[in-house]
Amino acid sequence: MPVSAEPTSVDPRHEQSAHANATEELRPHAEDAFAAELAALAAQDDRPRPARWKLSPWAVATYLQGGTLPDGTVITPKYVGPRRIVEVAVTTLATDRALLLLGVPGTAKTWVSEHLAAAVSGNSTLLVQGTAGTPEEAIRYGWNYARLLAHGPSREALVPSPVMRAMAEGMTARVEELTRIPADVQDTLITILSEKNLPIPELGQEVQAVRGFNLIATANDRDRGVNELSSALRRRFNTVVLPLPESADAEVDIVSRRVDQIGRSLDLPAVPDGVDEIRRVVTVFRELRDGVTSDGRTKLKSPSGTLSTAEAISVVTSGLALAAHFGDGVLRASDVAAGILGAVVRDPAADRVVWQEYLEAVVRERDGWKDFYRACREVSA
Amino acid sequence: MTEGERRTGPLLLGVRHHGPGSARAVRAALAAARPAVVLIEGPPEADALVPLAADEDMRPPVALLAHAVDEPGRSAFWPLAEFSPEWVAIRWALEHGVPARFIDLPATHTLAWESDSGGESEGQGDDEGEGEGNDGCPPESDAVRGPAPADTDPDTVPDADLRVDPLAVLARTGGYDDPERWWEDVVEHRGAGEGDAFAPFEVLDEAMGALREVYGTGGHERDPVREAYMRLQVRAAQREFGDAAVAVVCGAWHVPALRQKTAVAADRALLKGLPKVKVDVTWVPWTHRRLARASGYGAGIDSPGWYGHLFGARDRPVERWMTKVAGLLRDEDRMVSSAHVIEAVRLADTLAAMRGRPLPGLTETTDAVRAVMCEGSDVPLALVHDRLVVGDVLGEVPESAPAVPLQRDLTRLQRRLRLKPEALERELELDLRKETDAGRSRLLHRLRLLGIGWGEPAASRGSTGTFRETWRLRWEPELAVRVAEAGVWGTTVLSAATARAEADAVGAGSLADVTALAERCLLAELADALPVVMRVLADRAALDADVGHLAQALPALVRSLRYGDVRGTDTGALAEVAAGLAERVFVGLPPACAALDREAAEEMRRHVDAVHGAVGLLGEAVAPNPAPAGTAGAGETADGVSVGAAAENPARASEPGAALGSGTAPTSPSSASGAPASAAEDVPEPGHHSELRRRWHSVLRVLSARDSVAGVVRGRAVRLLLDDGELAQDEAAVLMGLVLSPGTAPGDAAAWIEGFVGGGSGGGMLLVHDERLLGLVDAWLTGVPAEAFTDVLPLLRRTFSVYEPGVRRTLGELVRRGPEQRGSAVAGAAGLPGFAPDLDARRADAVLPVLRLLLGPLGAGDGGVDDNNLVGVGT
């Protein structure tokens, strides 16, 4: 499932030995969690595989989209969404172009990139987490200073980055949140992606990428305060935009499933029958996001916020907490109203007008939404 | 004639209409077989027009248009693009000096059929734009809608009895879920094959034969008749030119039927007694966009531009396509390098391999363009789709093509309405209550929408009634050209004007344009265009963030609404949109009124006034039921007039209201005449109406109370509330006192005063009559410090200088006389000579019986209103 708000794993130096007792881990890597599926796919995969790929492109696509193998093994779908997206992504990796997954938060970018790396290279841990403080060393290489001082510059004193290791071993490297990385650091990727080598001037050497190396980056196109990719870098990527869930039902399904998981892990008391309210939250989010009502008849202004599925999940979760601790135990309109207002009105001037218009023009007229309208009026006033 | 041994009958070339692969295959097959005559599926009436296809000025896409002579609205189109196999066949025949003939059932029958099943003639005019019109006439359906073997409607497949989609069956058999894609892979993407030119047709023929064995006519009940006719034509041609010298280009679906051996007599029997109608045929220009339209007269092909490219490209279609795309994106200032093109081609190829297709199709190239050139975004991709995949290609037809049916329809209407086209300019007075005049008005308005400026509206002399219209008529010779140009929009004035209005609405630049268009649609009575215009209007209104635009659009819309009432059109949709627009204005107005400079504030005050008037009108316009259309002469007129009168009043309400010196005043004339008439039928409406007003009043309250709102707007809001009786006098006094108190900056206070009593809203009459307000103003003015006074003076002067001299003098006198004497001075000084300061009860009572007669029985509590009415009558 493209379950949103998947926590990003920051664990670049993950040691293989740690997999010994995978069940103890809070969150096992994709290649461990789905090892059986990957093995079954590999066993029955008779199509040609690109160099150093664990599976053929067709098998990778099946791994992501789910399906049933000839011997009856069921492959669970990892990503529910347009087939086109998975196909373009896998095909891109099969050529020597890098893959850039774009999308608003909560569209399963990280999830897809992890599973792609796991299926293609059998290893999803060659990861650089992009932050505003990501240094060049995280992408190229660093030095073990004790060694450097003791023995002078040598390959032994060099600490390779995940990208460097991926190049040397012909694996898939991942860069998370590429646009958060400062622009000058981003640009170190240009040589790697175009020349496919990484010079080490201190040693007069270079690391050349072997066949099978590729890179998956994820980035967020709606956030503020991001560093736009330079066009030179952008040109090295094939871009795939991961869309928000296509239908309201799919989104409701994702939200309620995820809310359920979070609720259990937070030990919230069980609140029965919140589906109607969840559907309402999802409807509001979708309508404002798409700028059109769900019946497709009225256009709306869209607020400045992203209104992603992840935010819908947090609105419902906090609504559940309200209902459980302060309400009568049933998720009601008043429990989610404040959360929705907070998610929609990010810019106090412009977004408030958008929200008011939406309330008056759409919500007020809608059958069975009276309680919701009243609750929203109360918190908006 | 080398194929003579292999073939026994005519050369049957089954094609998919508008399929580039089919077209290429047809060309190859014709070149190889060199037949002596080419027979093509199409209306035989068009045989005479075939040579025009070779004309230098003829550029596809074009369409053959057949229409009934008496009813231009009843028509059928056979669109032909450059890549249509039929077009290729026609061109081949003309180039080789071989006769080309159309062999489908004559349009004279098919159009007559249409009338049997298609309802009355008026209804036919509007089948432009909706698929229903064509569904009524299966014979055309494959000519008009594209792939003959497949009706391109995968959704309707399951009901095999009704309308089978043979391609879908073949595609499913071939393991494809999308029949279009199957056809593309198997047929269209075949390059110019070096192999046997006839092989593809034979294979297809076999497949279709198998399908028709199972499905028969597949729900096209009229196919047997058409096929019988085609068989007869093929036989006739065979007799004339020899057995094997005949080539037939028709939808693949028909091939097995044409191959069938049937008795001539049986075929003739099928054709006996078909209904007939007199038909004219001509060429009309077509566009790629219309080919792409899935309904109406579109051919239902999604990607004419792509097909044209496939047909036109010599080799390496994908590479050439990507280069085209790159060129387009560069023209639009997107940075696309050759490296991008290379990568896009590579990705498309790899994708095709991964999806198991022989060549990258449109899906693969689009995916590749999106991922490589458009950075994953669908926005530039939409441009590519619009400009390249569909394309801007516009067909041309030589001048020598016969006249378009629109001209005929216009002539017919002119005759019917006794409105002769004359070169001499003349003025035409129309009384819309008369049926002929209303028809003339409609025709002129429709022509104006079509850009045929025969009549220009002129200002009415004398009468200002809404049922009068004055036109200045002048027929210029070049208007005939305009009519011909407008022919692309439709075959009748009504359908053309509707199509044009819809297109204009979609392409309109600003909200005000759409509102104006809505008004014109109402005047031209284009009921079918109205929903589209309204939808566009609602969309624009929803996305327009400028309250000013919305406030400007509202009055025009409300005016339209009122017009619609006068003319008896159903304006339900309009009322809904207007109410929605008002709602948006209500929400957007308070924030938009903050932090304005003087001029902007003044403009905003005008907007507030306009919206106030519109909200009043809207309530009035929504209230009465739509009058019955056209027929109910006197009753309707009376109703229309009274509504018009009632509606007019609130616009000017502030004037009499001010003159009466009472907050309850505006309710007097309109409610007295309008309410009793309509009270019975619209029980729920007043609720909605008053709801709208109530909300507007609450907006005004917000405006009046918010300090950040410009003074002039705040003052105006208070005044409007006061006029509507929403604010009691003493409340207004409190508000004014607050504003005019020393805590307020003098400039702001003066602006407030200007808004409250100022320009264009009834002058200073309120001040003359309301001594307490005057006292407040007076007290504030005398309290202004000397140094601040000079700052305030220009503002005050501006406010007071626009008053009538009499009002100014009266004010001056009132101020001079001082507070204690004002009470008696009011009546004497207010310009009502002969009136005593107090009401003469005896004389007033004498009028009451007449008033009661006029107004009907009055409820209790109307006494106060009565008094006001009396004074109102006096003024």
Residues B751 and B727 sit within 8 Å (Cβ to Cβ): no
pLDDT digits (tens, 9 = 90+) for B100-155: 889 888 888 888 876 554 433 333 333 333 333 333 333 333 433 333 333 333 33
Is the model more confident about B831 or about B510?
Answer: B510
Give the mean model confidence (pLDDT) for residues A74-96. 87
Residues B332 and B411 in one domain: no
A291/B339 touch (CB, cutoff 8 Å), yes or no: no
Residue B647, pLDDT above cutoff 50: no
Percent of chain A surpassing pLDDT 70: 90
**Any domain includes B856:** yes
| Domain C-terminal end among B260, B295, B330 | B295
Residues B244 and B133 in one domain: yes
Give the mean model confidence (pLDDT) for residues A105-113. 83
Can you give the pLDDT at residue B77? Answer: 79
Most confident of A163-167, B421-425, B510-514: A163-167
Can you give the pLDDT at residue B16? Answer: 78
CB of A240 within 8 Å of any CB in chain B? yes
What is the least distance, in Å, from the CA of B587 to any CA of chain A?
A: 6
Distances from the Cα of B744 to the Cαs of B510, B711, B737, B798, in angstroms? 40, 10, 10, 20
Q: Given pLDDT bands bounded at 50, 70 and 90, which one contains residue A213?
A: very high
Residue B596, pLDDT above cutoff 90: no
Residues B267 and B118 in one domain: yes
Can you give the pLDDT at residue A139? Answer: 92
Q: What is the pTM of this model?
A: 0.64
B343/A91 touch (CB, cutoff 8 Å), yes or no: no
Label residue B704 exposed, middle or buried (CB < 10 Å: 0-12, 13-18, 19+). buried
Is the model more confident about A342 or about A272?
Answer: A342
Is the model more confident about B558 or about A182?
Answer: A182
Residues B361 and B285 in one domain: no
Distance, in Å, from the CA atom of A96 to the CA atom of B843, rounded to the nearest integer, reads: 102
Interface probe for B, chosen from A65, A83, A91 (most Cβ of B below 10 Å), is A91
Can you state the percent helix, strand and coil of chain A, rounding each to 5?
Answer: 50, 10, 40
Structure tokens at B193: 């094959």
Is the model more confident about B871 or about A335?
Answer: A335
Q: Given pLDDT bands bounded at 50, 70 and 90, which one contains residue B556?
A: confident
Is the model more confident about A169 or about B593?
Answer: A169
**Any domain includes B379:** yes
Q: Which of A238, A299, A349 sits opposite B372 (nearest CB)?
A: A238
CB of A234 within 8 Å of any CB in chain B? yes
Residues B60 and B109 in one domain: yes
Residue B577 sits at the vertex; the CA angle it makes with B572 and B583, to the nearest 5 degrees, is: 130
Residues B381 and B491 in one domain: no
Residues B261 and B386 in one domain: no
Residues B57 and B104 in one domain: yes
Can you give the pLDDT at residue B279? Answer: 83
Residue A163, pLDDT above cutoff 70: yes
Name residues whose C-beta falls within 8 Å of residue A30's C-beta, 6 or more positions apart in sequence. A78, A114, A115, A117, A118, A124
Q: Given pLDDT bands bounded at 50, 70 and 90, which one contains residue A88?
A: very high
Give the mean model confidence (pLDDT) for residues B382-398. 82
Give the mean model confidence (pLDDT) for residues B577-606. 81
Is the model more confident about A200 or about B677?
Answer: A200
Q: Which chain B residues contact residue A102 at CB under 8 A?
A: 375-376
ipTM above 0.90, yes or no: no
Residues B476 and B342 in one domain: no
Residues B21 and B127 in one domain: yes
Distances from the Cα of B84 to the Cαs of B134, B203, B305, B392, B604, in angstroms? 20, 20, 12, 17, 58
pLDDT digits (tens, 9 = 90+) for B400-426: 777 677 877 888 888 888 888 777 778
Q: Which chain B residues contact residue A91 at CB under 8 A?
A: 347, 350-351, 354
Can you give the pLDDT at residue B137? Answer: 33
Can you give the pLDDT at residue B590? Answer: 82
Residue range of the domain that includes B860: 841-874
* Touching B: A residues 276-305, CB under 8 Å: 291, 297-301
Q: Which chain B residues contact residue A178 at CB under 8 A?
A: none
Residues B132 and B234 in one domain: yes
**Any domain includes B741:** no
Residue B567, pLDDT above cutoff 60: no
**Any domain includes B328:** yes
CB of A243 within 8 Å of any CB in chain B? no
**Any domain includes B318:** yes
What is the least distance, in Å, from the CA of B584 to any CA of chain A?
A: 6
pLDDT digits (tens, 9 = 90+) for B454-491: 888 877 665 556 677 888 888 776 677 677 777 778 77
Can you give the pLDDT at residue B656? Answer: 38
Distance, in Å, from the CA atom of B507 to the CA atom of A48, rounded to the nearest integer, reads: 51
Distance, in Å, from the CA atom of A364 to the CA atom of A374, rounded to the nearest integer, reads: 9
Residue A331, pLDDT above cutoff 50: yes
Distance, in Å, from the CA atom of A102 to the CA atom of A296, rounded to the nearest integer, reads: 26
Structure tokens at B850: 């007449």
Minimal-distance CA residue of chain B relative to A348: B591
H/E run at residue A175: strand A172-176
Give the mean model confidence (pLDDT) for residues B643-647. 37
**Any domain includes B288:** yes
**Any domain includes B235:** yes
B355/A57 touch (CB, cutoff 8 Å), yes or no: no
Residues B711 and B748 sit within 8 Å (Cβ to Cβ): yes
Most confident of A88-92, A226-230, A308-312: A88-92
Give the mean model confidence (pLDDT) for residues B684-699. 69
Q: Which chain B residues contact residue A241 at CB under 8 A?
A: 376-378
Closest C-alpha among A8, A205, A249 to residue A112: A8
B504 HSE (CA, 13 A, CB side): 22
Interface probe for B, chosen from A83, A88, A288 (most Cβ of B below 10 Å), is A88
Is the model more confident about B448 or about B111?
Answer: B448
Residue A246, pLDDT above cutoff 60: yes
Q: Given pLDDT bands bounded at 50, 70 and 90, which one contains residue A229?
A: confident
Can you give the pLDDT at residue B342? Answer: 92
Q: Which of A291, A349, A360 sits opposite B583 (nearest CB)?
A: A360
Task: Mean pLDDT check: name the lowest of A367-371, B482-486, B537-541, B672-676.
Answer: B672-676
Write B848-854 long-range contacts (CB < 8 A, 24+).
none
Residues B374 and B381 sit within 8 Å (Cβ to Cβ): yes
Distance, in Å, from the CA atom of B260 to the CA atom of B560, rounded to the nearest integer, reads: 62
Percent of chain B surpassing pLDDT 70: 71
Residue A253, pLDDT above cutoff 80: no
Residues B386 and B460 in one domain: no
Residues of B with CB under 8 A from a CB of A: 335, 337, 339-340, 343, 346-347, 350-351, 354-355, 363, 367-368, 370-372, 374-378, 535, 538-539, 542-543, 545, 580, 583-584, 586-588, 591
| Domain C-terminal end among B496, B531, B562 | B496
What is the least distance, in Å, from the CA of A378 to any CA of chain B?
A: 16
Distances from the Cα of B484 to the Cαs of B406, B451, B496, B805, in angstroms? 7, 11, 11, 59
Can you give the pLDDT at residue B872? Answer: 39
H/E run at residue B787: helix B786-801
**Any domain includes B853:** yes
| Domain C-terminal end among B451, B466, B496 | B496
User: Hey, CA dihedral for B310, B314, B320, B324, is it positive or negative?
Assistant: negative
pLDDT digits (tens, 9 = 90+) for A131-144: 889 999 999 999 99
Can you give the pLDDT at residue B760? Answer: 52
State how many domains chain B has: 4
Most confident of A341-345, B157-161, B321-325, B407-411: B321-325
Report the mean per-residue pLDDT for chain A.
83
pLDDT digits (tens, 9 = 90+) for B286-342: 778 777 764 444 456 778 888 888 888 878 888 999 999 999 999 988 888 898 999
Distance, in Å, from the CA atom of B329 to the CA atom of B313, rounded to the nearest integer, reads: 20
Can you give the pLDDT at residue B828? Answer: 38
Can you give the pLDDT at residue A216? Answer: 95
